[in-house]
Chains A and B, each alone.
Chain A
Amino acid sequence: MHETMVAQSIFESIQELADEHNARAIEATVSCGQFNPINDDVLNFAFDLIAKGTPCDGMKLNIKHIPLAANCKQCGVKFDYDVYKPGCPECNSMEFDFNEDAPLLLEDIELEPMK
């Protein structure tokens, strides 16, 4: 349940940019990895509450879950690791190497000039 802090952090970054450009925020994209996952519903709920009455009010939040590439040490197959179904999809081995997990990122935001 750290989504409220994530929402607050996103909000502050967007608010700052919106003020700087005298604009309001229309849309923003955030991404997360497999070991720092975000619950989309909770983040949206928290963000909507924080954004009420600000230039971010009504902003659309896109949340991307970046797959984590893994390499099976047994059979060598490359696959996307699933936290809830660990194991190589080919040989069921539990031994694999991971690529680096994606960080929590605010990728981009879309602004619209204030009317």
Chain B
Amino acid sequence: MKISLNKKILDKNDECAIQNNEFFADNDVLCLNVISSPGSGKTTTLSRTILDLAGEVKIAVIEGDIRTDTDAQKIRATGASAVQIETKGSCHLSAQQVTGALTAIPAAEMDVIFIENVGNLVCPSDFALGEKLRVVVLSVPEGDDKPIKYPGTFAKADVILINKIDLIDYIDFSLERVIADIRVVNDKAKIFQLSATTGEGMENWYNWLRAEIQKS
């Protein structure tokens, strides 16, 4: 007996992501899922954003890592609230894990909740977490071949931050190539060049963030 289903795989994750998404909308908070390689500077970018926008934008962070709460500690050092999810081996966050973490965040008091995904340019892109938008961070030292090697992640980004732009003179990295390769799979994403260490270019990212908070 053959049964035709055409059922979405990972639908349990997707159903849970829809619930998370409704939760964020009900609490009037903008949720952003931040995806990148390990070491691209996600935590540094978020820490600087929290400090620079202190008093203006209320931000909380859900941190995803395989092990340790190092990143959550770094975020808490800025004064913001952070919840660490230790995936204990899993290479990406799931919507269910985010639902669990949300109980530890005063979401209604926040303007923005960042979910910093496990550092990985492959798997996180297949799992919706309930975010409104996706941020992908690519840092200059990783090399300019990343968008063409990991097209799935870049195709689904709403914003792409090219971080550590202060190092571009020291590394063989073609900005033109990166942007052209991104545009092959994604002609809509906003692309910002910045350095979370020196602060260069951060204002463009903040302005985008401010505009999205207004919309949400």
Contacts and interface: CB of A to CB of B under 8 A. Distances in A.
Real binding pair: yes
Interface of A: 1-2, 5-6, 9-10, 12-13, 17, 21, 23, 30, 35-37, 83, 86, 94-96, 101, 103-113
A2 B151 contact: no
A6 B191 CA distance: 31
Nearest to A5: B10
A107 B4 contact: yes
Given A9-B12, A105-B7, A110 B152 contact: no
B92 interface: yes
Nearest to A104: B9
B103 to A, nearest CB: 23
B8 A105 contact: yes
Given A35-B156, A83-B151, A1 B9 contact: no
Nearest to A86: B184
B1 interface: yes
Contacts of B91: 1-2
A69 B9 CA distance: 22
Interface residues on B, range: 20 to 34
B190 interface: no
- Most central of B2, B91, B180 by chain A CB within 10 Å: B2
Interface string B156-184: 10000000000000000000000010011
B177 to A, nearest CB: 11
Contacts of B152: 35-37
Contacts of B80: none
Nearest to A33: B152
Contacts of B1: 21, 23, 110-113
Interface stretch (B38-46, B53-61, B64-72, B122-130): B122-130
A26 B7 CA distance: 18
Contact of A108 (B4, B11, B12, B180): B4
Nearest to A107: B6
Contacts of A2: 91-92, 122-123, 126-127
Interface in B195-216: none
A107 B4 CA distance: 6
3 smallest A-B Cβ distances: which pairs? A35-B152, A104-B9, A2-B123
A110 B3 CA distance: 6
B163 to A, nearest CB: 23
B51 interface: no
A106 B183 CA distance: 31
B183 A94 contact: yes
